[in-house]
A = this chain, B = another copy of it.
Amino acid sequence: MTPADEATFGVLLDIDGVLYVGDEPIVGAHEALTQLREQSAGVRLVTNTTSRSRRDVVEHLRELGFEVSHEEVLTPAAMAVSHCEEHGYESVAMLVSEKLREDLAALKELKSGARADAVVLGDLGDGFTAEVLNGAFRQLMDGAELVSLQHNRYWRRKDGLALDVGAYAAALEFASGREGVVVGKPSEAFFKAAMSDIGLELAVMVGDDVEADVGGAMAAGLPGVLVRTGKFRQDALSERVTPTAIVDSIADFPDLLARIFQGSS
């Protein structure tokens, strides 16, 4: 096994569906995480969540027995803050859940009636009303940039399937005639930020979402490994993305990683 201080690669792990599903840790996930930290130059947990703050994500992981630090967890909200700061946006309209606001506290929220430089689009759930969408649309038509936390099509709620952020972004993009920027997975910037955080040019991404996790990583030039847990579906494999590798679960990934990088460092 390669000692961490000699490793030339990092490991990026999606969280929900890879380390746990709901309140149940994946069997062998705790041991796998420990092992991956020893094998690699660093592990970052990269999530597309729009319903939990980074603090909530870390707390939930700890409740399930995963020892993680805040610095190891990267969320699209943090990326949205960097994006807006880099572009010098002074006033931002936020369509995000209450829980996410603490992660966006560095941004100045729009005063009522003022013109926004950007519309940050997260998941408002039942807060997505025609009035809210029309308000965001008018900001876009007045020149604001659409900054979507992610661009997923839908997700499975307790009461059934529900439109996800990508669907509402699609409505606003179609109406305004302009594409927005996506700061979460599968955006290349998100993967680059995670690697720059580890300080290396190479990392292996592991996820249960064949498009956002695996496809996104591969488009950014990284190996993408799909797990057969979480939202994995056999029929999704016939789609546009061919993963670098597929494993039954995160428990099988350390062995695969050891074989991939055998003798390479």
**Chain A residues close to B by CB (< 8 Å):** 124-131, 133-134, 137-138, 141, 153-154, 160-164, 166-168, 170-177
A sample of 14 more A-B contacts (CB under 8 A), given A164-B175, A167-B175, is A124-B130, A129-B129, A134-B160, A134-B162, A137-B154, A138-B160, A153-B174, A153-B175, A167-B171, A167-B172, A170-B170, A170-B171, A170-B173, A170-B174
Whether the pair A130, B127 counts as a contact (CB closer than 8 A) is yes
Q: How far is the CB of A180 from the nearest CB of chain B, in Å?
A: 13
Whether the pair B153, A141 counts as a contact (CB closer than 8 A) is no
Whether the pair A131, B126 counts as a contact (CB closer than 8 A) is yes
Q: How far is the CA of A153 from the CA of B137 in the complex (A)?
A: 11
Whether the pair B166, A137 counts as a contact (CB closer than 8 A) is no
- A138 / chain B contacts, CB cutoff of 8 Å: 160-161
- The closest CB in chain B to the CB of A172 belongs to B167
Known contacts A126-B129, A129-B126, A168-B171; A134/B163 CB under 8 A? yes
Q: How far is the CA of A130 from the CA of B160 in the complex (A)?
A: 13
Q: How far is the CA of A177 from the CA of B164 in the complex (A)?
A: 13
Which of A126, A128, A166, A174 has most chain B Cβ within 10 Å? A174
Q: How far is the CA of A126 from the CA of B167 in the complex (A)?
A: 18
Pick 15 A–B contacts, CB within 8 A, sort by A. Answer: A126-B130, A128-B129, A128-B130, A129-B130, A130-B163, A134-B161, A137-B162, A138-B161, A141-B161, A153-B176, A153-B177, A163-B175, A167-B172, A170-B175, A171-B171
Q: How far is the CA of A124 from the CA of B131 in the complex (A)?
A: 12
Q: How far is the CB of A90 from the nearest CB of chain B, in Å?
A: 23
- A127 / chain B contacts, CB cutoff of 8 Å: 130
